[in-house]
Amino acid sequence: MKRGIALLLCLILAGKANAFCRTITPWTTVDTKTGTVRYITHLSRDEFLRRAPQKMSPNTLGMTVSKLGITGSAIPEVQYVDGHTFCVQIKEMHLTIGYNTLDVYIDKKYLPGSCEYEVVKEHENYHVRVSQEAMMFFKPDIEQALETALSHIEPEFAYSPQEAQEVFNRQFNRVMREIQPLIDYINAKIAEKNYIIDTPESYAETSALCNNW
Quote the pTM value. 0.80
* Residue ranges covered by each domain of the chain: 33-207
How deeply is 63 buried, as exposed, middle or buried, from its count of CB atoms within 10 A (0-12, 13-18, 19+)?
Answer: buried
2 versus 202: the higher-pLDDT residue is 202
pLDDT tens for each residue of 66-95: 999 999 999 999 998 877 899 999 999 999
pLDDT tens for each residue of 16-62: 434 577 888 999 999 999 999 999 999 999 999 988 887 777 778 89
pLDDT tens for each residue of 106-153: 999 999 999 999 999 999 999 999 999 999 999 999 999 999 999 999
Provide, rounded to the nearest whole percent, the portion of the chain with pLDDT above 90. 69
Cβ proximity of 4 and 68 under 8 Å: no
Cβ proximity of 167 and 141 under 8 Å: no
Helices (H) and strands (E) in the chain — how many of each?
Answer: 5, 7
> What radius of gyration do the chain's Cα atoms show?
27
Distance CA 55, CA 172 (A): 34
DSSP 95: E
Distance CA 154, CA 152 (A): 6
